[in-house]
Amino acid sequence: MDKSVIKSVIADNQVEIPKYELVPRNFILEDFANYVFVGIRRAGKSFLLYQKIQQLLKDGKTWADILYINFEDERLIGFSLDDFNMLLEVHLELYGKKPTMFLDEIQNITGWEKFARRLADQKYRVYITGSNAKMLSSDIQTTLGGRYIPVEVYPYDFKEFLTANNLTVNDNTLLSTEAKSQVLRYFNDYFYFGGFPESAGFPSKRNYLTTVYQKIFLGDIATRNSVDNTFALKLMFKKMAESVKQPLSFTRIANIVSSAGAKVGKNTIINYVEYAKDSWLITPIQNIAAKLADKESNPKYYFTDNGILNLFLLDGNTLLLENMVATNLLRKYGRTDSVFFYNKDIEVDFYIPEQSLAIQVSYSLDNSSNTLDREINALLKIANVLYTSILIIITRDTEKQLIIDGKTIEVIPVWKWLLF
């Protein structure tokens, strides 16, 4: 890698980054810690780096104190582990001092964790982003030696989405009919098209979402993992999208995909699912009542953003609602061993042990079809099996409070649940 290329990349970033108008995100970062931000492509990880850089510049730091590199810059094609030290050399040549390091999409460089470990050992302050869940794997965390704090980054939550559209919400504003109607209008947009930051203000989002999905599908999954049977991979995602509310075993996925015209075996499906998890496209949620083997092999799968899920669906309101609830729970409580469903004699959509929280999701509570009775009975029964202090039914529009057998069940519209 030529030093002149590095210098050009650094100089261009110094011009561009201050120009970004950012919606501040509520990530509390310690000044004396190193961070690895991970999440789906276009979730806003780079924006978090820009936000931190802009804050440093506002606080009186200069570009002599800051080095930002995006490893998806096409000028850095061919950059390798051996070139990392050149970044430090170039900055020292330009400014003669040690910078705070901002290394964007670093997973593109094989062996990056060795350089990251060295930076931490040499007392650099470092912020790293990546779009591959393997960055949180035990092997990489061992190499990093506990010197970095991992942070999961999702697309905008609903409150951030409203802020991006210049709408601030609190208890008082929701008392206004006009303000509430604005919230509901934006929620409809958020429900169907998700919260990717770059698309938040777009009047038409579907083309953008298609582009993001194709980049994840082709770049982060198919090309990175040398997948030849992209037709089977594409079919798998479509069938998983159509089955969001249902547990899916690897065997069942293989059978569904094969019956749709793409012959594929169970072991191949296992690999494909792992690739999709690594890219943050999907996340499994396990049955807390199942045996260990069944927990691993028969989870429910949810898509990281409703906008991506909606690309696959026709009239998918019930699936989108449950997916939105799942994503918000994963965002709030973490992706690993925090959020479960319960299926043993009864079915409960979500159970969060650390909160003693059980949630049912129902798009519409239609008493004529006994929907409300079914959701209530499931919550009452799980309260007799697992410790639960909070029982909730999340709906599209209905709001009420029920007290049955001494237990309180809150029925709340999803848009309000997302805000508070």
10-residue stretch averages of pLDDT, the chain, 420 residues long: 96 97 88 94 96 97 98 96 97 97 96 96 96 87 91 96 91 83 95 95 90 96 95 96 96 94 94 97 97 91 98 96 98 94 96 97 81 94 95 96 95 96
Token couple for 389: 């202090």
pLDDT at 370: 84
pLDDT at 369: 64
pLDDT at 420: 86
pLDDT at 367: 63
pLDDT at 368: 58
pLDDT at 107: 93
pLDDT at 292: 87
The domains of the chain, with CATH numbers, are 3-152 (3.40.50.300), 158-189 (no CATH), 205-320 (1.10.10.10), 345-420 (no CATH)
pLDDT at 366: 74
